[in-house]
Structure formats: structure tokens, C-alpha cells
């Protein structure tokens, strides 16, 4: 591991300034949250920053109610604290379920909300510096396309990259239409989800729309009363500490047997947390039945272009969507 300097920021503006100073010196400065992804990549030699700006002590580590009835979650909040927060558990249970499904207890105790969102979209080739990878070394190629791609993307991938975004937490945030608050060299701004993460296209090295020096300070959850009846379901190769093969975050508002409104997002299938907008549109005004759920899921997954060894994800995703929606109907 390359030697690096360490700085601890007291607030968002000082963090942005420290990161800018490190970049100006040519050292390559990055923000450090819990380090559960960054430190691993440093040890592997995938990244070698010269300066780490610690943002875990910023005064943005709690949950506040917003005027409209939503929640504002500080980016420095630990994942375990987020999952246990009573307002999150009561109003947005799929978010609690996703965070708990995301990693071991030890990692959740370290990982932050902002860091979880910004963990690298990756596959095994990205983490192996002896292999080519367009995300790590642009233009070097994507060996996963003809290699090990069983658990990689089936929607939205490109010739340049077929990696999947690994965050569980990001899936319900995309379903809910969360808004990410950012502080950067140009000031404060907000980015909606979906919209924070990028599809790979020809530039897979850029995972998000963030500009150099941008710092996530908070995530805002909109008021959505029917999200209190929501669920996150994750299919994985082993019972714990594994990335999703397919996951679904869903909230369903049913009145008189008809779908009044819904929110659905998929994980484990794309380079980004995938908002199932086609399925949502198909379901609104439809009967809350297994047949309607299956048809909506099929419409969403019609755009899938799987590779030879991950085509099984398409029917799996369809079945998980249907089962999750049926569970919500039965629980209502």
C-alpha cells in the first residue's frame, strides 16, 4: 500500500477544502468514511490516494424529520444506526431490511450512508490488478464479457462494462426517489435517485454524476405514507455477507383490489440500482393479482440483454418481483 497523508475534517466546507488542497498538490485526495470499500481497494492496489480526508466526524450523523413529513439522513450516519432508527423502521421498513441484508454486523457498524452509496460498482476483474478492466484502466477491455459474468448485469450494461452495483441500501433509496444532498467546490446542490449513479456506456470509470471534490452530506427521503407497507427481498448465493444475485425493493398501495400506486427497484441486475419504471407504470390502475404482477415484471425485464451465463437472472428477477408484491398484498 502506498503511504498516504491523513486529515480529519470538522465540517463539510473544510472537508471540501482539504480535498481540493490535496488534489492541487497532485497527491490525489479522497474522502474516507467507514473505509469498508476504499481500504480494501487500497490494499489490493486498485487505488492509491495520497491523502485521505476523514469525514466520519462531520455533524451529519443522525435522522431529522423534514417539514413535509419525510426524513433527512446524515451521510456520516453508520449503517447499523440507520437500520435501527425507529422512524426508518416504521415509515420505510424496506430500507431497514436492505441495510440489515447488506453486510455483516461489523461492517454495518463501520460503514456510513454516504460511503455505502459511493462504493465502487465492481466485479472480480476490477479488483484484480493483473487483469484488464475498462473501469480501472479505461480502454484495456472487459474480460468479464467472455469470462466469469454469472452474477453481473443483465440490464443497462455496455460493451465496455457489465459490472453490477453492489449496494443493498441504494435499491430502496432508488425506489423511494430519495434526494442526495451534495456539498462541492461549486456550492450545495441536490441530485435525485435514480440519477446519482451512471450506466457504464463508453466511460465505465465514472460510477456517478458527482464532480471532483463533491461530498455527499445527506440523503432525503420523501414523504410516502404507503412506504410503511414495503419490503426488501434479496436472493444470494449464501445466507449472509454476499452480494445480491437479484434483489427487489417494493412498496404497494392497494385500494379495493386495485393498485393505486407503487414503487419498485431492482438490485443485482444492473450497473446502477434499477428503478422499475415500466413495471410501475403497468401496475398503476391494474388489479393487484399475480397475473398483473407477472405481466408488469415481464414488461420491465423485456429490455434485458443477458450474457450466456447469467440469463437465469431474468426469470429469477421476474419471480422475485411477483413474490414480493404478493407478500405485500397478503400483509395488507
Mean pLDDT of 3-28: 84
Query: What's the pLDDT score for residue 60?
Result: 80
Residue 25, pLDDT score: 61
pLDDT value of residue 292: 98
Residue 27, pLDDT score: 64
Q: Are 191 and 211 in contact (CB under 8 A)?
A: no
CATH of 60-332, one of 3.30.870.10, 1.10.490.10, 3.40.50.720, 3.30.465.10: 3.30.465.10
pLDDT of residue 124 exceeding 80: yes
Burial of 278 (0-12, 13-18, 19+ CB in 10 A): middle
Residues contacting 157, CB < 8 A, separation 6+:
163, 199, 200, 270, 271, 305
Identical fold for domains 5-54 and 60-332, yes or no, is no
Q: What per-residue confidence (pLDDT) applies to 213?
A: 93
Average pLDDT, the chain: 94
H/E segment holding residue 86: helix 86-91
CA pair distance 279, 301, nearest whole angstrom: 9
Whether 324 has a pLDDT exceeding 70, the answer reads yes
User: What number is the average pLDDT over the span 33-47?
Assistant: 93
Strand partners, 259: 254
pLDDT over 90 (residue 165)? yes
pLDDT exceeds cutoff 80 at 309: yes
Q: 10 Å Cβ neighbour count for 261? A: 16
pLDDT for 147 equals: 96
Instruction: Answer whether residue 131 shows pLDDT above 90.
Output: yes
Which pLDDT value is given to residue 280?
98
Lowest model confidence (mean pLDDT) among 59-68, 91-100, 144-153: 59-68
Residue 24 has pLDDT above 70, yes or no: no
Q: What's the Cα-to-Cα distance from 185 to each of 159, 188, 211, 215, 218, rounded to whole Å? A: 33, 8, 9, 9, 17
C-alpha cell at position 313: 437472472
- pLDDT interval class at 197 (50, 70, 90): very high
With cut-offs at 50, 70 and 90, classify the pLDDT of residue 22: confident
pLDDT in tens, 97-120: 999 998 888 889 899 999 999 999
Fold classification of 5-54 is: 3.30.43
Share of the chain above pLDDT 90, in %: 88
Show the cell assigned to 43: 490494499
| 156/80 Cα distance (integer angstroms) | 31
pLDDT of residue 23 exceeding 70 = no
Place of cell 456517478: 208
What are the structural domain ranges in the chain?
A: 5-54, 60-332
Angle between helices 313-331 and 290-301 (to 10 degrees): 140
Amino acid at each position: 500500500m502506498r503511504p498516504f497523508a491523513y486529515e480529519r475534517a470538522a465540517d463539510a466546507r473544510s472537508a471540501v477544502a482539504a480535498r481540493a488542497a490535496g488534489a492541487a498538490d497532485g497527491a490525489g485526495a479522497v474522502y474516507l468514511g467507514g473505509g469498508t470499500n476504499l481500504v480494501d481497494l487500497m490494499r489490493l492496489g486498485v487505488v492509491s490516494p495520497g491523502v485521505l480526508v476523514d469525514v466520519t466526524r462531520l455533524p451529519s450523523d443522525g435522522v431529522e424529520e423534514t417539514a413535509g413529513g419525510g426524513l433527512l439522513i446524515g451521510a456520516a450516519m453508520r449503517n447499523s444506526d440507520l437500520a435501527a432508527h425507529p422512524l426508518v423502521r416504521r415509515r420505510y421498513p424496506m430500507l431497514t431490511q436492505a441495510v440489515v441484508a447488506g453486510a455483516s454486523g461489523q461492517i454495518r457498524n463501520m460503514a456510513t450512508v454516504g460511503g455505502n452509496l459511493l462504493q465502487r460498482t465492481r466485479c472480480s476483474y476490477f479488483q484484480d490488478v493483473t487483469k484488464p478492466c475498462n473501469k480501472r484502466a479505461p480502454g484495456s477491455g472487459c474480460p468479464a464479457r467472455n469470462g466469469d459474468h454469472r452474477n453481473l448485469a443483465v440490464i443497462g450494461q455496455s460493451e465496455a462494462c457489465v459490472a453490477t452495483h453492489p449496494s443493498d441500501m441504494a435499491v430502496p433509496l432508488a425506489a423511494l426517489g430519495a434526494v442526495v444532498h451534495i456539498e462541492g467546490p461549486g456550492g450545495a446542490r441536490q441530485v435525485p435517485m435514480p440519477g446519482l449513479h451512471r450506466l457504464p456506456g463508453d466511460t465505465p470509470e465514472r460510477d456517478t454524476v458527482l464532480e471532483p471534490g463533491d461530498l455527499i452530506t445527506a440523503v432525503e427521503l420523501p414523504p410516502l405514507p404507503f412506504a410503511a407497507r414495503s419490503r426488501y427481498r434479496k436472493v444470494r448465493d449464501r445466507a449472509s455477507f454476499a452480494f445480491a444475485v437479484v434483489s427487489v425493493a417494493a412498496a404497494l398501495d392497494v385500494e379495493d383490489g386495485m393498485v393505486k400506486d407503487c414503487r419498485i427497484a431492482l438490485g443485482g441486475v444492473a450497473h446502477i440500482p434499477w428503478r422499475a419504471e415500466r413495471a410501475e407504470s403497468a401496475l398503476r390502475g391494474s388489479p393487484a393479482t399475480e397475473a398483473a404482477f407477472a405481466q408488469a415484471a415481464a414488461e420491465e425485464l423485456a429490455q434485458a440483454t443477458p450474457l450466456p451465463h447469467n440469463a437465469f437472472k431474468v426469470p429469477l428477477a421476474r419471480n422475485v418481483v411477483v413474490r414480493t408484491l404478493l407478500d405485500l398484498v397478503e400483509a395488507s
